[in-house]
Amino acid sequence: MNREKRLAVIGLAVGAAAAGWFGLQPARPLPAAGEVKVGAYAVSGAEAPAPATTIHEPPQHNPELDSARQLLHDGKKFEARAMLTKLILPAPEGPARGEMRKMLDAINKELFFSSKPSPDSVSYEVQPGDTLAVIVQNQAKGSNQGKDYYFTEVVMLVNGITDAKRIRPRQRLKIPQGTFSAVVQKDARRLIILLNGDYIKEYPVGLGAAESATPEGKFVLDVGKAKDPDWTAPDGHLYKYGDPKNILGTRWMPFTDVEGHHGLGIHGTTDPKSIGEDVSNGCVRMLNADVEEIFGMLAPGDTVEITK
C-alpha cells in the first residue's frame, strides 16, 4: 500500500475512534410532518410538548404581617398583638402561622405572663390586712372574673406567687382586666384563650368521637366549675374522682345546656394520649396541666366558640 493510501486509512480509523470516544452519533432523520419527537421516538398526530421548566413561586408577602413585625420592632407590643390576633385566628397551618405564634408567645411572655405593667391590667399596692381574694374581687369589678374565686390563680400566675397567703404590704400586684373567652378550632384540635379578643395562648385538645362529635357554635360557661371532679357517665353511673373510670382528669368547666346539647364542657383527662384525637363524648378534652392553667381564666358567663 502506498503512503497516501496508508494515511487515508489511518485518518478514517482515528475519526471513527474519536466519534466513539466523544459519544457522537450519526444524525437521526427529522420527524415527518405530523410527528413529534419524544426522546428517540417519533409519535404521530401530536403537538410538540413544551420543554420542562421548574417554576419557583416568589414568597407571598402579607402587608399586615409586615406591619406587625414593624410594630414589634418599634416596641409597640400591645398593638402588634392585636394585629397578630386578627391574622392568626383564620390562618391556615404553615410557616407563616408558626411565625405568628412565636411572635405572640414572645409578646405575651411580657404582656400577660409576667408582673410587668401592661395596658390591659391594673397595678395594685397591697395594703395591711389585704387578702388576695378580696383584692381580686375589688380590682376585677365589672367582669365575670371578679365574681369567680378561681381568678386569684391567674393573678398568682402572672405575679409569680406560689402561696396566696404570702403577699406583703406595699407589694405591687398586676391584675389583668377585661373578659376572657376561648375559641376551639376543631380541624386543628386546639383551644385559643383570648383576653378582650386578643390572643393569649393556645393549647392542644381532644374532641368528640364520630358518634358523639363536638358540636359547633357559641357556648357559655356555666356555674359548677370543679377541681378534682366526680363524673356522671352517660348511663347515669357516678364515678368518684380518682376512680380509673373517671375520665375528667383534674378539672371540669361546664357549658350551659342548650337544646340538643347537654352535659358538655371542658375538662382534663386520665389519658394524655387522647389529646389530638376524636374520642370523647363530645366535650373538649385537655391535658391536666393545660386545663389547670386556664381554669382561673374562664369564668361563668364567658363564651367558648367552637368552630370548624
Chain-centroid distance, C-alpha 180: 18
What is the C-alpha separation between 221 and 206, in angstroms, rounded?
18
Asked if the structure places residue 59 within a domain, the reply is no
Please indicate, yes or no, whether residues 249 and 216 belong to a single structural domain of this protein: yes
Average pLDDT over residues 15-26: 44
pLDDT tens per residue across span 134-160: 999 999 877 888 889 899 999 999 999
Position 181 confidence tier, pLDDT thresholds 50, 70, 90: very high
Which residues does residue 226 pair with via DSSP β-bridges, in sequence order? 252
Burial 115-153 (b: 16+ CB within 10 A, else e): beebeebeebebeeebebeebbbebbeebbbbebebbbb
Domain annotation covers residue 268: yes
Q: Is position 5 within any domain?
A: no
Task: State which amino acid sits at residue 299.
Answer: A
The mean per-residue pLDDT over the stretch 67-93 comes to 97
- Which region among 28-42, 101-115, 223-237, 268-282 has the lowest average model confidence (pLDDT)? 28-42
User: At 129, which amino acid appears?
Assistant: G
Please indicate, yes or no, if residue 223 is contained in any of the structural domains: yes
Grid cell at residue 226: 370543679
Question: Whole-model pTM?
Answer: 0.80
Whether residue 33 lies inside any domain: the answer is: no
Show the CA angle centred on residue 230, arms to residues 228 and 233, nearest 5°. 140
Q: What is the CATH number of the domain that holds 151?
A: 3.10.350.10
> Which pLDDT belongs to residue 54?
54
Q: Indicate whether 225 pLDDT > 90.
A: yes
What local confidence, expressed as pLDDT, does residue 289 receive? 98
Task: List the domain range (segments joined by +) for residue 88.
Answer: 64-111
pLDDT tier, 53 (very low <50, low <70, confident <90, very high otherwise): low
Instruction: Look up the CATH number of the domain holding residue 217.
Output: 2.40.440.10
Give Rg (Cα) of the chain: 34
CA distances from 308 to 183, 185, 214 (A): 10, 6, 10
283 a catalytic residue? yes
DSSP 298: S
267 given a catalytic annotation: yes
Do 216 and 105 fall within a single domain?
no
* Domain count of the fold of the chain: 3
